[in-house]
Amino acid sequence: MYRIGVDLGGTNIAVGLVNEDLKLVTKKSMPTRAERPPEEIVSDIATLCRAVCEEQGLALGEIACVGIATPGIANRDTGVVEYANNLPFHQFPIADRLKAQLGVSNVRIENDANAAAWGEAVAGAAKGSKNSVMITLGTGVGGGIIIDNKVFSGFNYAGGELGHIVIEVDGAPCSCGRKGCWEAYSSATALIRMTKEKLEECRATGRATIMTDQPKISGRTACDAMRAGDQAAKEVYDKYVKYLASGLATIINIFQPEVISLGGGVSGEGQSLIDSLLPIVRKEQYGGGVVPMTDIRIAKLGNDAGIIGAAMLG
């Protein structure tokens, strides 16, 4: 049977139809307009669900499950979003509302980072493993934990906030209010900050770097310039990789998962990022050479991980 996955973000709602081979058959989206009442957001989700079905000539009754990947704390047992930072949800029974709108009985919800991890576990980079962790290196650092083929998020559904493990007490300020979170060192945002700091330093000391010639500083600026042989860029990259590797070794020491998959913008660096990380991670992790070791892989599903993971919740 077909399934529907909903990736509800602060900016866009994306809804996809997933077939029995766990492939995304079609996808439609519209802006979230998060300032609206939550009921209106649910109506648009329902509209998109009907639209992807219609496009494939399916009735809603032929859908095995509708899953929603949502920001915030998602109570998967009640279908209630307890709280979301960037959406007007406070103890909002989103699953029940969507059930009522669509007339379907099987609607599940999960936190978006957890749903993406579940997607990679069932159909992506961690397929075939029972224990995996996904780390998303984007605006922030997201985390999703799969234990024994289930999403793990603690007794209150708020766990798995792997971007908010402190790796430097009193370190760089984090969006969450803490100081020194992994997110403040390993997100794309942090990489851009490190790049800008290095540019500032180069300017102040009169050191030459081709990074100065870029029209806009992005997460790619330092990576591209390093590959072109720029030494200042290599220093930025090495610093970023050092912090990222430290956090990954910590994740391994805690979870010893079969697979860690890396997603988000920075993971676009691909295998060369993994090749930079591995020597540091292996040196810092526990159990090296004694027991089988965690594979670190680039995530496979890209932006569709959340949709596919959500569809596979039921």
Residues that bind a second copy (CB under 8 A): 73, 82-83, 129-131, 145, 147-148, 152-162, 164-169, 176-178, 185, 242-243, 246-247, 249-250, 252-258, 283-284, 286-287, 290-293
Residue 279 CB, shortest distance to a second copy, in Å, is 14
Residue 300 CB, shortest distance to a second copy, in Å, is 20
- Cα–Cα dist 22/45, whole Å: 21
Burial class (CB in 10 A: 0-12, 13-18, 19+), 268: middle
Residue nearer to a second copy on the CB measure, 18 or 182: 182
Cβ atoms within 10 Å of 231's Cβ, excluding its own: 11
Contact 74, 108 (CB under 8 A): no
Residue nearer to a second copy on the CB measure, 32 or 246: 246
Residue 70 CB, shortest distance to a second copy, in Å, is 14
Residue 257 CB, shortest distance to a second copy, in Å, is 6
- Cα–Cα dist 285/293, whole Å: 9
Q: Which two tokens stand for residue 127?
A: 């397929």
Residue nearer to a second copy on the CB measure, 155 or 215: 155
Question: What order do you get walking across the sheet with 295-298 strand by strand?
Answer: 150-152, 141-147, 132-137, 259-263, 295-298
Residue nearer to a second copy on the CB measure, 82 or 201: 82
Residue nearer to a second copy on the CB measure, 2 or 83: 83
Residue 117 CB, shortest distance to a second copy, in Å, is 13
Residue nearer to a second copy on the CB measure, 110 or 230: 110
Residue 282 CB, shortest distance to a second copy, in Å, is 12
Residue nearer to a second copy on the CB measure, 173 or 270: 173
Q: Say which residues have a Cβ less than 8 Å from residue 225's Cβ, sequence separation at least 6.
A: 209, 210, 211, 214, 232, 233
Residue 77 CB, shortest distance to a second copy, in Å, is 12
Residue 114 CB, shortest distance to a second copy, in Å, is 12
State the DSSP code for 173: B
Contact 163, 140 (CB under 8 A): yes
Residue type, 150: K
Residue nearer to a second copy on the CB measure, 118 or 255: 255
Contact 248, 296 (CB under 8 A): yes
Contact 205, 199 (CB under 8 A): no
Residue 266 CB, shortest distance to a second copy, in Å, is 18
Question: How far from 225 is each of 184, 217, 233, 282, CA to CA, in Å?
Answer: 22, 11, 6, 27
Residue type, 208: A
- DSSP reduced 3-state for 188: helix
- Bridge-based pairing of strands 63-70 and 24-31 is unpaired
Residue nearer to a second copy on the CB measure, 165 or 274: 165
